[in-house]
Structure 1
Amino acid sequence: MDNRNGFSDSNDFSSICCVAAANTETLFSTETLNPDITALRILSNNLNSAFESPDFELYSDAKIVLSSGREVPVHRCILSARSQFFKNIFDGKESGAKFELKELVRDYDIGFDSLVSVLGYLYTGKVRPLPKGVCVCVDDCCSHVGCRPAVDSMVEMLYGSFVFQVPELVDLYQMQLLDILDKVATDDILVVLFVANKCSNGCEKLLASCIQIVVKSDVDIVTLDKALPQNVVKQIVDLQIELNLVKPESQIFSDKHMKRIHRALDSDDVELVRMLLKEAHTNLDDACALHYAVAYCDAKTTTELLDLGLADVNHRNPRGYTVLHVAATRKDPKIIVSLLTKGARPSDLTLDGRKAIQISKRLTRAADYFTPTEEGKASPKDRLCIEILEQAERRDPLLGEASFSLAMAGEDLRIKLLYLENRVGLAKLLFPMEAKVAMDIANVDGTFEFTLAGIKPKNMASAQRPTDVDLNEAPFIIKEEHLNRLKALSTTVELGKRFFPRCSEVLNKIMDAEDLTQLARVGNNISPEERVLKRTRYVELQEVLNKAFSEDKVEFDRSAISSSSSSKSVGLVRPFGGGGGGGGRPH
C-alpha cells in the first residue's frame, strides 16, 4: 500500500474539520442496547480495520487515479452497495480497472485526503477526521476554523459527497460550512458559493447564505465574473441593485475602454494594450490593469506589462489591495519576484491590516509547507512564495561578488563566465524551482552544467546558445554575446542572493571549494590521463557535496517546523478577482 501511504494517520489528526467525526455517534448511535445496532457497529469497526490495514490494496479490484498520479485502491462490491453512483460506474467494468478522478467529478478537483475521507465513510459509516496540517494554514490564525485550507477541505468533501450520491454526508458538510461562514473571508466565500451552486438542490441553504454575504460585500464585478457562473453573478447584481448596494466605485470596471484593456490582456496581447493607451481614454492604473494581469494572465504577460513602465506597482484597486496583495493569492513565485524587483512594497497593508506574507500564509496548508523537499525536487510554490516574501521584508543582502571564487577571478571574464555557468547549473540541480524563478526573470534559457573540458552542455541547441564553446579552451575571445550572457547570469545570481539567501549560502560553500575551483581551470596543456583524473575527482567531490547538502537540508526543514513564524490575519482568494488557489478548484 505504498502508493497510498495508508488511509489513516491515527496519531496525527487535526482538531479542526473533526466536528463531523464527533457528531457521527449522534447520527448513528442509540442508548438502546439493540443487538442489530451492536452488530452494525462491529461490522463498521471490522471494515474500518480493513480500511486502515496495510493489506487493504491486496484485495482491491479497482483503483481511482488522482491527477497527481496517486492511486487509491477500492472494492467495487462495497462501493456499489453503498452508492448508486459507483454501481453505475463499475457496471460492466473488468476487475482491476482504473478510473480517473477528474473524469468522475469533472467540474471540481478533489484532493487525496478529501477523497479518502468520503470513501472512508462509504466503507465504515463513520466520518473520518483529516490528518493534521491538511485543514490548517501556516499562519497562526486563531483556531483555523475559517482559514482557506479548512474551507477547501470541507467544500471538497461536500462536492465529493454530492457527486458520489451520499445525501446524508452532503447535509452534514453543508451544516458544517453554514456554522463557519461568519468566520470565512469574503473571497473564500466565493469558493463555497461556487461549489454550493454545483450541488444545486442539495445545498439550497448554503447557496442562499453565501449569496446574501456576497451581495453585501465589496467584491467587484470583475471578480464575480471570473469566479462564478453568469446566472449566479446576475442574481447577485440584481439583488445589489434592488437593495441600492451598488457602490459608485464598482462602476469603474464598466468603462468600455477598461474592458478592452482587460480583453487584450486575456489574449496576452500587451502590444494591443499599448495601442489602447495611446487613445488616452484611460491608463493602466485607472483600469487596474496590473492587478488584472497578476490575477488572471500568465507570468510572461505580467512581466511584459511591467516592463512598459506605465503602471504604479504599488497602486491600490478599489478594494484597497496592492498588486503584491493580489500576487500573494496567485501562488506564482516568478510573478512575486518580478513585482518585488520593480519596487513593490511587502510592508503595505490591506484595509483590514494584512500584508502580502500574511495573505500567502493564510492560503497555504501547513501539511504542504512543513513537508521536507527531497534533494533536487522542486519546492512547492506555496512555500516558495512565503519564503520570498519573508526575505523581501528583511534587509537586502550586501551587494558585491557572489562568493570568494568569483572575486578571485578578477578581470578574467572567461573565468567569471565559467564560474557563473557552473554556479547557475548547480543551482538548477539542487534548487530547481528557485533557480527557475531567477533564471526566467533574468531571461537565462539554460546553462553549461559544470563545463569541464570535453563536456557538452545538456539539452541545449547550439544555434540558441551564444556561449556554446568550451570555456576552458584557449584562446577564448570575449564577444558581445558573451558579455550579455555574463550580465544575465550575474542578474540570476543576484536575484538568488536577494530572495533565496539560504540557497545562495549553500552554493557559495560549494563553489568556493578549492578542488572545484581547480577543476574549473582545466585547460589544453594537460595530459589525457590528468584530464580523466580531474573528472573522476569532480564526480567524487560532487557526491560528497550532495551528501552534505542533504544533511543540511534535513536540518533546515526540521528547524523550520519548530520555528514557524506567525501573524494573525484574515485570508482571501484573489483580491482583484478569482476563486483560484487552494486545494480543490474548477478544472
Structure 2
Amino acid sequence: MENEYEISSSSLSFVSFPAGDTNLSGPEIEANPDYLSLSMLSSSLEKLRLDPGLGYADAEIVVDGVPVGVHRCLLAVRSEYFQGLFSKPCNDSQGNGSNDKPRYHMAELMAPTRGYVGIEAFNVVLNYLYTAKMKPSPPEVSTCVNDQCDHDACRPTIDYAVELMYASSTFQIQELVLLLQRRLLYFVDKALIEDVIPILVASFRCNSKQLLSHCIQRVSMSDLDSVVLEKEIPPEVLPEIKSLRNESNQGSGSALPQEDLTDHQKGIQRIHKAIDSDDVELLELLLKESRVTLNDAFALHYATAYSDPKVVKKVLDLKLADLNLKNSRGLTVLHVAARRKVPSILGALLENGACALETTPDGQTALCICRKLTRPKDYEDIQKGKESNKDQVCIDLLERGMKNVSASGRRLVRSEVTAADLHMLGYFESRVKMAAMLFPAEARTAMEMAEADWTPLYKGLALKGSWGTGNSNETACMSAERLQQKLQALRKTVEMGERYFPNCSEEIVKFIDDMPDAMYLEKGTEEEKESKKRRYMELRDDIQRAFYKDIAETNVPASSSLSQASSSSSSSSPRNRIRNRIKLKV
C-alpha cells in the first residue's frame, strides 16, 4: 500500500461518539444547533444502513458468507478506495435485469494485504463510514472465554483490533488507522510475545512503519528461537530482527564467532526438512544415521506447530519422542498444540500420554492457553443440532485430559516413552562418563555450562562395570520427573561437548561403539584380551589426539585447556571462562 500512516499527537475524540442512544438531547445539544444537526444526520444514515426494508442499497459486500447491503454513493464520498472500486465494472452481481446489484467479496478486497476481516469488524468500520461514530467492540469476538482474563491484551482482543486495522487501512480511512495504531502499540508492550507476531505482520502489510518498528524491537529482544522467526516473520522483516539481536549480543559481550553450522545443527535442520516434506521414511533414516534425536530437534514441537495432523500422528507412531519434554521456552508439545487449536492433534497427544497438568514458566496449563485464545462466539454460540466448533472441541478435550490426570493422582507416563528415555539415558551417561574419565575438568565445566547440578550426577557416573547406567534398580524406580531432569542435564552436557570439542566427541562415540562396557576387556581368551587392550589404548590415544586437535583449531595452546580455565577466578562464569580461552566453533 502506498499510503503510510504515522501516529500523531492530535486528538481523535471525534471518532469516539457515544454508541448507545443516538437521539441525543440536553442543554449542551440545544445550545449547539450544528452539533444537533450532525447528530440527527448521523442517526438517519445509521438507520439507512441498518434497515434493509428501505431498499435503497445498490451494492453488496459479502463477508463470511453474509451479504451486507451498502450505498455506493455514500461510501465513495467517504473513501477514495471505494470511489476507485465503484468506478470499475463488477463481474459479480445479484438480481435480474435492471435490478442487478454489484456484489463484492471481502476476501478479494483484502487480497493486497492478505488480511482477514470478519463480519463484526466490517460492520463496525461500515458504521463509522456512515455515521463517523465508533461502536463498542462486540464482546463475542473481542474477548476470550477465560474467566480469569481481564481481556486487556488477550488474543481475541488483539485479533479484533488487527481486523479493524486491515479494514481501515485497505479502505484508506486515515483517522481510523491512527486510532487503531495507538491501540496496537499498547498491545505490543503488554501482550505475550506470540501474540505480537500478528500485529507485526499487519503493520508490515499495512505499511505502518512506526508500529512495525515497535514490533521489531519487541521481537528482537524476545526469547523466540530462530525456527519460529523463520516460519512466522515476513522474510522482508527478518534481517532487521537478526541484526538487532546480533548488536544486542555484541553489546552484552555474549556474541560468539559465527561460522558454518555444526553437524548437530545441520542434523536438526535435516529432521525439520523431512517433517516439512512429510517424508517419515527419510526421517527414520536420518535418525538411524545421525546422533541427533527427535528430542534434540524438538521435532514433535515442530511438527505440532507447522505440520499436517497426519504428519504429527506419524511422528508419534515412531515412539521416539518425549511428549512432556519442554523446549527452550519452557513449553511442552501440548502447550504448542493448544495455541494451534487443531482437535485431532490435541486428541492424539493426550491419547499418547501428554500431560495436561504441565504448566508454562508463567503457570499456564494448555487448557488455560486454549481458553485465552477462544472467543465466546466460537465456544458459546453453538446451535442445537449443529456440529461443535473446533475451538469448543479443543477445550473439551483438554478439560477431559485435566480430569483424567487429576483422577489418577499422578502423571501418566507411557511405557514406550519411558523405554526410549531409558535408552537415551544410558547412551548419554556413557558419553559423559567417558569424558569425565579422560578429561575431568573439561567435563565438569561442560556440566556447569549446561546448568546441570554436577555433584549428584557425577556420583551417579561412578564406574561400576558399565559405560552406561551405574545402578539399574535406581533407574527403574526413578520417578518420571527425576528421570527427565537427569536426561536433560546429560543431553545438555553432551551438546556442550559436541559444540566445543567436535573431534573429541566423535572419537568418544567410536570408543563406546568398540568398547560396549568396562567388563568387555576381561572377556575372552588371553589372546583376545590382549588384542582388546591394544585396541583400547589405540582408541584412548585417538581421543587424546582429537582433544588436542580441538584445542589447536581454536588457536589456544595445549597448556591452556579448559581445566586451567575452570581454575581461574571464581568471579568468571563457566561460559565466560571458555569464551575467553577458546574461540568457539559454532
Matched, 1:78 2:95: no
Provide the residue aligned with 2:59 in structure 1: 62
1:93 is aligned to 2:89 = yes
Distance 1:398 1:329, change over 3 A: closer
- Pairing partner for 1:388 from 394, 397, 405: 397
Q: Partners of 1:199 and 1:252 in 2: how far apart?
A: 39
Q: Which of 209, 224, 245 does residue 219 from structure 1 map onto?
A: 224
1:50 equivalent to 2:48? Answer yes
Q: For the Cα contact (< 8 Å) 1:315–1:323, is it kept in 2?
A: yes
Counterpart residue identity of residue 322, structure 1? T
Aligned match of 1:344? 354
On the 8 A contact 1:21/1:128 being kept in 2, the answer is: no
Q: Paired residue for 1:24?
A: 16
Output one character per residue of 1:495-549: Cα deviation in whole Å (capped at 9) or x when no partner. Answer: xxxxxxxxxxxxxxxxxxxxxxxxxxxxxxxxxxxxxxxxxxxxxxxxxxxxxxx
Contact kept? 1:85, 1:163, Cα under 8 Å = yes
Superposition map of 1:248-263 within 5 A: 255-263=265-273
- Which of 232, 236, 240 matches 2:241? 236
User: What SS does the corresponding residue of 2:246 show, helix, strand or coil?
Assistant: helix
In the superposition, the TM-score normalised over structure 2's length comes to: 0.60
Alignment of 1:89-488 (within 5 A): 89-93=85-89, 95-106=100-111, 107-200=114-207, 203-244=208-249, 255-375=265-385, 377-395=386-404
CA RMSD in angstroms, aligned pairs only: 2.9
1:31, distance to aligned residue in structure 2 (A): 9.2
Q: CA deviation at 1:47?
A: 0.8
Q: 1:381 to 1:20 in 2, by over 3 A?
A: farther
Find the aligned partners of 2:122 and 2:312 in 1 and give their Cα distance.
35
Q: How many residues align?
A: 373
Kindly state the Cα deviation for residue 70 of structure 1 after the two structures are TM-superposed. 1.9
CA gap of 1:348–1:74, structure 2 versus 1, over 3 A, is same
The amino acid that maps onto 1:70 is V
Kindly provide the amino acid, as one letter, of the partner of residue 45 in structure 1. S
Higher mean displacement: 36-45 or 384-393: 36-45
Preserved CA contact (<8 Å) 1:20 1:127: no
Shift of 1:397: 12
Amino acid corresponding to residue 100 of structure 1 in structure 2: H
Identify if the C-alpha distance between structure 1 residues 215 and 32 changes in structure 2 by more than 3 Å, giving closer, same or farther. farther
Instruction: Give 1:82's aligned amino acid.
Output: R
Contact 1:346 1:355 in 2 (8 A): yes
Q: State the secondary structure of the residue aligned to 1:144.
A: coil
1:490 alignment partner in structure 2:
none
Greater Cα shift, 154-163 or 268-277: 268-277
How far apart, in 2, do the equivalents of 1:119 and 1:25 lie?
A: 15
- Whether the 8 Å CA contact 1:20–1:176 is kept in 2: the answer is no
Equivalent position amino acid for 1:287 in 2? A
Deviation of the 1:51 alpha carbon: 2.3
**Shift of residue 152 of structure 1?**
0.3
Per-residue deviation, 1:37: 4.1
Structure 1 residue 309: Cα displacement: 0.7
Q: How far off its partner does 1:396 sit?
A: 7.4
Q: Which runs of 5+ in 2 are unaligned?
A: 1-10, 19-23, 91-99, 409-586
Which structure has the greater CA radius of gyration? 2
Distance 1:253 1:188, change over 3 A: farther
Give the partner amino acid of 1:78.
Answer: L
Distance 2:341 2:52 in 1: 36
What CA distance in whole angstroms lies between the structure 2 residues aligned with 1:20 and 1:353? Answer: 39
Deviation at 1:341, TM superposition (A): 0.9
Q: Distance in 2 between matches of 1:156 and 1:341?
A: 36
CA deviations 1:276-334 (Å, max 9, x no partner) are 11122311111111011111111111101100111111111111110000000111111
Q: Percent identity?
A: 41
